[in-house]
Structure 1
C-alpha cells in the first residue's frame, strides 16, 4: 500500500512522514484492498486559528467507496492522531457493512424510510454570493483547481469526481465514510444530480436538480 504525503503551504519533515507511516499501519488490516492513502497536511497562518492551525486530511483509495477523515489541532501530530482515529472507525464500519446480513434493516429493526426532500434551502430574501469566473475545464477524476475571487482572500477549490448512480441509502453511507456534512451524487431512481446534507440530529435533506435547464451550457 502506497502512502503519499503532501504539504499545502507548509513543508513536511521526514520525521513526520515516518510517524504517518507508523500510525497508518492498521489501514491494510481494516481495508485489505487499499491501494493508496493520500495524506494532505495544511498549515493555517491566521493567528486567530492557532488552536487549529495544523490540519491533516486522510483519504483511502481502494476498491469501493473512498473513505476519508480529517482533523485540526494546535500541533501536527495531534491533528494526525485525531484524523487516524476517525479513519480507523470509518474503516471498521465499512468492513462491517461488507459482511453479509440476512435482513437489510435500520438499527431500529424497520426498513429504512425514504429521506424527505426539502424544496426551500435558501431563504427567499437571501442574496446570492458573488460569482467566480470558471477555471479551466477539469477532465480527469481527481483533478482539482483553485480560483481566487478577485482581490478578496476567498479561494474556491474545485474537484472532479466520478459519478455512479446510487440509492439514497447508499449516499448516506458514502457521506458518512468521507466525513462530510453533504454528499453529491446521481440518484439511481430519478437519474437526477442530487445533494444529500445533514440537518439537526438524525435528520437529512436532499436537493435534486432538474437537469433540463434551458440556460445550461453543454
Structure 2
C-alpha cells in the first residue's frame, strides 16, 4: 500500500515517516484491498497564547468507499496514534458487520458504493479538552469566554440525501459517528439511524404533516 504524507505549517521528518510506516501495518492488516493512504499533518498556532496543536488526517483509498479518520493533539506523534486507532476501529466495524437477512423482511442488504463522502465537517476535541471534561474542569478553549456553559449548540446544514436505512448505517460506520441523518427512500420521511448496544441499530423517522394553522387556513 502506497503512503503519501503532506505537512502544512510543519516539516515531515524522517522519524515521523518511519513511525508512519510502522503504524500503517495495522491498517494494512484490516484493509488488504486498500491501494493508498494519504496522511496530512497540519500545525495550528494561536495568537491568544493557547498552546499550538497538530491535526493528523488519514484518508484510506481503495476499492469501495473512502475511509477517513482525524485526531488533534499537542504532539503530532500522539495525534497520529489516535487517528490510526480511530481508523482501525472503523475498519473493524466494517469488517465485522453482518446483516441477517431474516431480520429484514424487505430483503435489504448492504451495498458498499464508491465515491467520496461530502458534507462532513467534524473537528474532534483535543486531548486537553477531553481530560478537562473528565475532571469536571472548564475546557481550555472555553476559559477565555466571559461565561462558560457545558451546553454548546453547533448548527450545521447539509443537503438531504435519499437512501435506505441500511445504506445510512453503512455511511454512519464509515464516518465513525453514532448516528446519521437521511431521508428514507422508501417513505420519503426524514429519519436518523443510531447505534444501540452491540451491533444493533435503531431508526427514528418523522411523519411530516401540515401544522394546525395551515390546516385551518385550507
Q: Distance in 2 between matches of 1:18 and 1:191?
A: 50
Alignment partner of 1:26: what SS?
Answer: helix
Q: Please give the per-residue CA displacement for 1:26-80, whole angstroms capped at 9, x wherever unaligned.
A: 2222112111111111111116542x60111111122223221111111010001
Alignment of 1:132-171 (within 5 A): 166-171=163-168
The structural deviation recorded for 1:92 is: 0.5
SS at match of 2:25: coil
Q: Are 2:60 and 1:63 aligned?
A: no
Q: How many Å separate the matches in 2 of 1:104 and 1:66? A: 28
Q: 2:83 matched to which residue of 1?
A: 83
In structure 2, what is the Cα distance between the partners aligned to 1:173 and 1:57? Answer: 21
Deviations 1:148-196, CA, capped at 9 Å, x for gaps: xxxxxxxxxxxxxxxx96323422432332235886877644789x896
> Cα 1:31–1:165, aligned 2, differ >3 Å: closer, same or farther?
farther
Question: What CA distance in whole angstroms lies between the structure 2 residues aligned with 1:165 and 1:49?
Answer: 42
Aligned match of 1:177: 174
What is the root-mean-square deviation of aligned Cα atoms in Å?
4.2
Contact 2:90 2:174 in 1 (8 A): yes
User: 1:157 — aligned with what?
Assistant: none
How many angstroms apart in 2 are the aligned matches of 1:166 and 1:27?
A: 29
Taking the aligned partners of 2:34 and 2:93, their CA distance within structure 1 comes to 15
- Unpaired runs of 5+ residues, structure 1, are 106-110, 112-139, 144-163, 208-218
Quick one: structure 1 residues 173 and 34, their matched pair in 2 at CA, closer, same or farther if it must change by over 3 Å? Answer: same
CA distance in structure 2 between the aligned counterparts of 1:205 and 1:44, rounded to whole angstroms:
39
CA contact (8 A) 1:165 1:187 kept: yes
TM-score under structure 1 length normalisation? 0.53
Distance (whole Å) between structure 1 residues aligned to residue 79 and residue 16 of structure 2? 12
- Structure 2 distance, partners of 1:20, 1:206, is 43
2:63 aligned counterpart, secondary structure: coil
Query: Across the two proteins, how many residue pairs are aligned to each other?
Result: 154
TM-score normalised per structure 2: 0.53
Structure 2 stretches lacking a partner, 5+ long: 107-114, 119-160, 195-200, 207-218
Structure richer in helix, relative to its length:
2
How far residue 91 of structure 1 moved from its aligned partner, in angstroms, is 0.5
